[in-house]
């Protein structure tokens, strides 16, 4: 996905099943993402007041919270 995306990859997943943030950080560390930097953000669903989207972006997204820990996505679902 990252090789074909120019600006962002958006994931809407079952966050309790797989640590996607770890995978993104590993791919970044291995140089397998062709962007200068990877900025990871999340979006909270206004309907449920829970995080529901992970956005990996080639540029910072100042209006969206930075995803510092995968627990931000996972824990509200447990």
Secondary structure string (H, E, C) spanning 19-67: CHHHHHHHHHHCCCCCCCCCEEEEEEECCCCEEEEEEEECCCCCCCCEC
Per-residue model confidence as pLDDT tens digits over 20-77? 999 999 999 999 999 999 999 999 988 988 898 999 999 999 999 999 999 999 888 7
Burial (CB count within 10 angstroms: exposed 0-12, middle 13-18, buried 19+), residue 56: buried
CA distance 60 to 63: 9
d(Cα 2, Cα 35) in Å, to the nearest integer?
A: 8
């Amino acid at each position: 996905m990252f090789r074909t995306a120019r600006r962002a990859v958006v994931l809407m997943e079952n966050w309790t099943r797989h640590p996607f943030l770890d995978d993104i950080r590993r791919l970044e560390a291995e140089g397998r993402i062709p962007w200068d930097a990877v900025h990871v953000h999340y979006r909270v669903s206004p309907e449920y007041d829970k995080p529901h989207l992970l956005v990996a972006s080639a540029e910072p997204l100042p209006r969206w919270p930075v995803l510092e820990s995968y627990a931000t996505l996972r824990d509200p679902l447990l």
